[in-house]
């Protein structure tokens, strides 16, 4: 018994897969950076395998770069690669998929990861895939026990963008772009264990992707409350709002916040800091110009967490205007700084942010009037802002830390290893090699 307990508690050697890992904006890169650090803090060994953009990692975490064709880089998004860049099957897959109008990175990266790991399987105990779910992940799972994090079903992104499309040609183009979602659903249904970041996402993944509930486990995302904290000596700027927009897409709801801000500016002086990159000629840039808000909005990108904490400290209200969130790192980061939060009821936001009027000021998604009312409610009542900000920080510090995320993730690692050892798992699952391979997908 003692030897079994010792084996169960031993440090794990982990290969962590992330097909893109933007370090400062976007949930996947931030999740990668903080979770891998927390895992190393617990004594485990972690090596990240990533495509571009590459993550910023703790110095104790290894990084193996698996470069893509980088078709969607920030400087020349949608570029067509030169023939000399096509060096093997992953590049062929990436270019061929892109040529059909489909986002190619998850499929191509999954095969790059498999090729890297097939000769290194003895170096790792387990693989953690961060929402790639390309077909190559099934091959990876045949090499090593594999767990997947699925933040939310991308089917939601597709549905919202199709609904917002102005014509049938754009709807067809969007549907074709999101064709990779079918692949992700097929792969997800065949994995033994999927870590999901909210109860709301579990429901949506089950409904939209057909993943059995007994294959999913809830592990919340975290925040570092020692880093994201109130700052003494930094004064809040009257009327200053702050939001995060990792992408200029319908899902994030930035246009509704801009419309709400225009309404508020008719009655008071308000300004907005957007943590994210302004897309030249994009829908938000056009709307900012149309509403005459250019002089009252600043976009900030590529700055360290310490500067982001300062930006929160300068703001009277943080806003999450999303139509849908699987969890929302920006929400818990804002709450951790004791900045009062206005958030919609989209997706998992009510589950994450708590009770209206206590830890958050709520509004309806996709409704600029409702958003303006909630922001006005906070701006007009300093005592309410102070109470909501303090209670929000207490909630986040109690429920959502990266250490807790890492501990619960390791519990899932050990369950996956036990499944592989015993051959016992969810209904319909069998370990690789049993009865000819995997369960039917």
Please give the pLDDT value at position 270: 97
Instruction: Tell me the CA distances in angstroms from 49 to 30, 40, 122, 130, 325, one per residue in order.
Output: 15, 16, 16, 10, 26
User: Where in the chain do CATH 3.40.50.2000 domains reside?
Assistant: 2-222+402-422, 240-399
- Which three-class secondary structure state does DSSP give residue 209? helix
The per-residue pLDDT string of the chain (441 residues; one tens digit each, 9 = 90 and over) reads 333 434 578 999 999 999 998 876 667 888 999 999 999 999 999 999 999 999 999 999 999 999 999 998 877 888 999 889 999 989 999 999 999 999 999 999 999 999 999 999 999 999 999 999 999 999 999 999 999 999 989 999 899 899 888 899 999 999 999 999 999 999 999 999 999 999 999 999 999 999 999 999 999 999 999 999 999 999 999 999 999 987 777 788 999 999 999 999 999 999 999 998 877 778 888 999 999 999 999 999 888 899 999 999 999 999 999 999 999 999 999 999 999 999 999 999 999 999 999 999 999 999 999 999 999 999 999 999 999 999 999 999 999 999 999 999 999 999 999 999 998 788 777 788 654 444 434
The top-level CATH class assigned to 2-222+402-422 is: alpha beta
Residues 6+ apart with CB under 8 A from 198: 152, 218, 220, 326, 327, 347, 348, 351, 352
- Which three-class secondary structure state does DSSP give residue 120? coil
Radius of gyration of the CA atoms of the chain, in A: 22
CATH fold of the domain at 240-399: Rossmann fold (3.40.50)
Please give the pLDDT value at position 214: 95
Q: Please give the model's pTM, rounded to 2 decimal places.
A: 0.90
DSSP E strands, 224-351: 240-244, 271-275, 297-300, 317-320, 341-344
């Amino acid at each position: 018994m003692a030897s079994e307990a010792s084996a169960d508690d031993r440090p794990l050697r982990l290969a962590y897969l992330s097909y893109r890992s933007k370090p400062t904006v976007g949930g996947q890169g931030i999740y990668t950076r903080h979770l891998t650090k927390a895992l190393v803090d617990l004594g485990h060994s972690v090596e990240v395998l990533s495509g571009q953009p590459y993550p910023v990692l703790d110095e104790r975490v290894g990084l193996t770069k698996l470069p893509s064709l980088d078709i969607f880089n920030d400087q020349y998004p949608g570029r067509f690669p030169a023939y000399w860049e096509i060096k093997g099957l992953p590049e062929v897959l990436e270019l061929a998929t892109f040529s059909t109008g489909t986002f190619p990175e998850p499929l191509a990266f999954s095969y790059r990861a498999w090729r890297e790991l097939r000769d290194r399987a003895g170096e790792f105990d387990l693989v953690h895939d961060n929402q790639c779910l390309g077909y190559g992940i099934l091959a990876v799972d045949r090499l090593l026990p594999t767990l997947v994090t699925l933040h939310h079903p991308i089917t939601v992104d597709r549905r919202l963008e199709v609904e917002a499309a102005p014509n049938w040609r754009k709807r067809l183009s969007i549907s074709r772009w999101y064709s990779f979602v079918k692949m992700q659903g097929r792969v997800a249904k065949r994995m033994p264990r999927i870590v999901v970041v909210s109860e709301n996402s579990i429901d949506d993944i089950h409904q939209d992707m057909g993943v059995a509930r007994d294959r999913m486990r809830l592990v919340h995302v975290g925040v570092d409350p020692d880093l994201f904290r109130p700052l003494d000596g930094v004064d809040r700027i009257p009327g200053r709002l702050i939001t995060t927009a990792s992408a200029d897409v319908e899902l994030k709801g930035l246009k509704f916040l801009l419309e709400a801000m225009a309404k508020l500016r008719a009655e008071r002086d308000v300004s907005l800091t957007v943590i994210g990159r302004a897309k030249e000629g994009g829908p938000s840039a056009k709307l900012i110009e149309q509403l005459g808000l250019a002089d009252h909005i600043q976009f900030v990108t590529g700055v360290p967490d310490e500067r982001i904490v300062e930006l929160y400290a300068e703001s009277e209200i943080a806003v999450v205007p999303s139509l849908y969130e699987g969890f929302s790192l920006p929400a818990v980061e804002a709450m951790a700084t004791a900045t009062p939060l206005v958030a919609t009821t989209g997706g998992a936001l009510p589950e994450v942010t708590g009770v209206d009027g206590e830890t958050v000021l709520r509004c309806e998604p996709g409704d600029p009037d409702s958003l303006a009312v909630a922001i006005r409610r906070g701006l007009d009542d300093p005592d309410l802002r102070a109470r909501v900000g303090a209670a929000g920080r207490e909630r986040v510090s109690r429920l959502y830390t990266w250490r807790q995320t890492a501990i619960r993730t390791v519990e899932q690692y050990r369950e996956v290893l036990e499944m592989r050892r015993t051959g016992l798992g969810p209904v319909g699952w069998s370990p690789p090699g049993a009865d000819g391979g995997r369960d039917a997908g």
